Amino acid sequence: PANDAVRVGVIGSGGRARHLMKSFPKLDGVRLTAVCDVWDAARAEGKKLADPRAAETKRYQDVLDNKDVDAVLIGAPDHWHVPLTVAACAAGKDVYVEKPLTHDLAEGKAVIDAVTAA
């Protein structure tokens, strides 16, 4: 993007996501600009690792609608990986999500279709 940094929003800031978030300060040109989790404690812990001005929300759609977010790190439970990836692609965001991405082949096609449509 035309920005001086890739601005990342985190959807699901539980243990694994926070482990990944700890590596972000080592990356040049990357800022954590939004943290989302339905659990208050997980969101608060994730917020501590993000930019001090980062948005904080319980609603993943708020992150996807946020113009200050270029990409998302999906750290939600496994059954949310496909729907969040598809929604993020539809919102024009780049996506990082870990395994398992899908649970069956139909979900894989939905992700491929979302990526190619983006």
Q: What DSSP assignment string belongs to 3-60?
A: SSSEEEEEE--SHHHHHHHTTGGGSTTEEEEEEE-SSHHHHHHHHHHS-TT-EEES-H
Tokens 């339905």 correspond to 38
Q: Which residues contact 13 (CB under 8 A, 6 or more apart)?
A: 21, 35, 36, 37, 42, 43, 45, 46, 47, 75
Identify the pLDDT of residue 2: 58
Q: What is the pTM of this model?
A: 0.93
Across the 118 residues of the chain, what is the mean pLDDT of every consecutive 10-residue run? 83 97 94 98 98 98 97 97 98 96 93 94
